[in-house]
Chain A
């Protein structure tokens, strides 16, 4: 069974630009969660999508948004990039989500904002 895949793996952007990250969950998983990991703040929950609907949202500004498609693939978008958005962005998938079961993580997308 293929694992969670994330594309691209590395990305360099400049301040003010926008970026879209993609996550393909394990086949059959309907929940996709996104996390941001930085040396200063550690891991923080961004949002969770289930059956194409945002089910839960962390404490991030509206510049961070996402969506989920009918095949459960998910995209995350960050608009008007700031230097502080430089981070490793991880997505995780699970069958039903809600954090109540094992999540399977992708390798992450490392974003550098210059």
Chain B
């Protein structure tokens, strides 16, 4: 049974710092790995989707990597800004049942 873990549960850093959020999964049989952000009172916004055959994806200041063999994905945020404050969730899509299994999220606070 797939389990997705995100550590730490919360992170507070000063504005301008580069930071890394971690996501680990127990079953390497995934179709893709997805990163989302959730702002209070709002739904989720898809940030990056990495296919199982890919190693990384980039969008602006965000870069996500995927290492299936070690069951890990990281989300790198460059030059963090207060607007990046949100909860970041990762989710793994099983390659047999095509259901997203979600991590509990990392609550990120960027201090001005």
Which residues of A line the B interface, CB within 8 A?
A: 4, 42-45, 56, 58, 90, 92, 98-108
CB contact between B99 and one of A4, A56, A101 (< 8 Å): that residue: A56
Say whether B18 faces chain A, with CB atoms less than 8 Å apart. Answer: no
| Contact residues on B (Cβ < 8 Å of other chain), bracket | 20 to 34
CA distance A4 to B104 in the complex (A): 23
Using Cβ atoms and an 8 Å threshold, which residues of chain A touch B99? Answer: 45, 56, 58, 99
Interface of B is mostly: strand
Would you call B43 and A56 a contact (CB within 8 A)? no
Using Cβ atoms and an 8 Å threshold, which residues of chain B touch A108? Answer: 42-43
Using Cβ atoms and an 8 Å threshold, which residues of chain A touch B102? Answer: 42-44
CA distance A90 to B100 in the complex (A): 14
Would you call B98 and A99 a contact (CB within 8 A)? yes
Would you call B43 and A100 a contact (CB within 8 A)? no
CA distance A38 to B31 in the complex (A): 25
Would you call B91 and A90 a contact (CB within 8 A)? no
The count of A-to-B residue pairs whose CB atoms sit within 8 angstroms is 48
- Least CB separation from B103: chain A residue: A42
Would you call A90 and B43 a contact (CB within 8 A)? yes
With A43-B102, A44-B102 given, is the CB distance from A99 to B43 under 8 Å?
Answer: no
CB contact between B45 and one of A56, A99, A105 (< 8 Å): that residue: A105
CB contact between A4 and one of B43, B91, B98 (< 8 Å): that residue: B43
Q: Which of B36-71 contact A (CB under 8 A)?
A: 36, 41-46, 49
Would you call B46 and A100 a contact (CB within 8 A)? no
Say whether B32 faces chain A, with CB atoms less than 8 Å apart. Answer: yes
- Least CB separation from A44: chain B residue: B102
CB contact between A99 and one of B89, B100, B104, B105 (< 8 Å): that residue: B100
9 A-B pairs besides A98-B98, A99-B32 with CB distance below 8 A are A42-B102, A42-B105, A45-B100, A56-B98, A99-B31, A100-B93, A100-B98, A105-B43, A107-B41
Would you call A104 and B32 a contact (CB within 8 A)? no
CA distance A104 to B104 in the complex (A): 19
Convert B11-50 into 0s and 1s, putting 1 for each residue whose CB lies closer than 8 angstroms to a CB of A: 0000000000000000000011000100001111110010
Q: Which of B66-112 contact A (CB under 8 A)?
A: 89, 91, 93, 97-105
